[in-house]
Amino acid sequence: EQRCVVAVDGPSGSGKSTVSRRLAVALGARYLDTGAMYRAVTWAVLRDGIDPADADAVTKVADSVLLSVGTDPEAPHISVDGTPVDGPIRGSEVTAAVSPVAAVPAVRAKLVAQQREIIVAAGRIVVEGRDIGTVVAPDADLKVYLTASEAERGRRRSAETATDLAATVADLARRDKFDSSRKADPLRQADDAVVLDSTDMGIDEVVAYLTTLVDGAT
Ligand code: C5P
């Protein structure tokens, strides 16, 4: 089947995961959640009792762990040194610690290299993250920057995690600020990305629109 790489970037809670998985199914493609990889390294950092702000110690953990990533869009999964971590990486401890871990350049270098290998092996894949169109896959066939108003992103994430709305909005704002202002590969729109504000759009509508864009791009 024809090679096709779709990059989906955007802030937390923009609907990237749901949209990317659904788009991958529609395209008969694989799906890679790069955020899950940063979360998995963060899980290992906490497992080892390492301070997430200690960049040298975090680098050592990242260098020594083996991440296995399953890219079936119907059942994505990730394990660290053979232990499945799909549940724990969504917990509040990991969510609170992931941004400083993801800001360490050596961590990014290692994960970006693994992400590129996964993309090449898959051939046809939808990849979601913060730096996919800018760093990981600058030659992607289609780059999407998915966004939504802060209030709407908060509502969606709060419904998904059953967490208080005000706390969720505060957490999203904190992570977005950290992710956008870090030195190493910050969250940024690629110049050639299609910007899609999904505040007033349903998931089906977003997926249908992106499917037509992919058809036009490949
Ligand atoms: O997408 P998700 O919310 O699971 O990502 C968790 C964190 O991982 C983000 O807040 C960001 O710090 C980091 N991340 C990143 N680069 C990516 C994907 C995620 O820095 N490509």
Strands 83-84, 124-129: pairing kind: unpaired
Q: What is the pTM of this model?
A: 0.95
Residue range(s) defining the domain that contains residue 156: 4-217
Dihedral over Cα of 149, 155, 157, 160: its sign: negative
44-62 average pLDDT score: 98
Task: Please check the confidence at residue 1 and state whether its pLDDT lies above 80.
Answer: no
What's the pLDDT score for residue 162?
A: 84
Q: Which residues pair with 195 in a beta bridge?
A: 145
What's the pLDDT score for residue 74?
A: 97
User: Could you tell me the CATH number of the domain that includes residue 20?
Assistant: 3.40.50.300
User: For ligand 1, atom 5, which residue shows the shortest CA distance?
Assistant: 35
Q: Nearest 5°: phi and psi at 107?
A: -65, -45
Hey, which of 179, 180, 183, 185 would you mutate to test ligand 1's pocket, going by the most ligand atoms within 8 Å of its Cβ?
179
C-alpha of residue 142 to centroid of ligand 1, in Å: 20
Specify the number of domains making up the chain: 1
188-198 average pLDDT score: 94
Burial (CB count within 10 angstroms: exposed 0-12, middle 13-18, buried 19+), residue 95: middle
Q: How sure is the predictor about 53, in pLDDT bands with cuts at 50, 70 and 90?
A: very high
- At 164-185, the pLDDT tens digits run 999 999 989 999 999 899 999 8
Annotated binding site for ATP: 10-18
Q: b/e per residue, 131-155, with b = 16+ CB within 10 A? A: bbbbbbbeebbbbbbbbbebebbbb
Type and span of the H or E element at 39: helix 34-47
Task: Please check the confidence at residue 163 and state whether its pLDDT lies above 90.
Answer: no
DSSP 149: -
What's the pLDDT score for residue 104?
A: 97
Q: Which residues line ligand 1 (CB under 6 A)?
A: 12, 34-35, 38-39, 98-99, 102, 129-131, 175, 179
What's the pLDDT score for residue 199?
A: 93
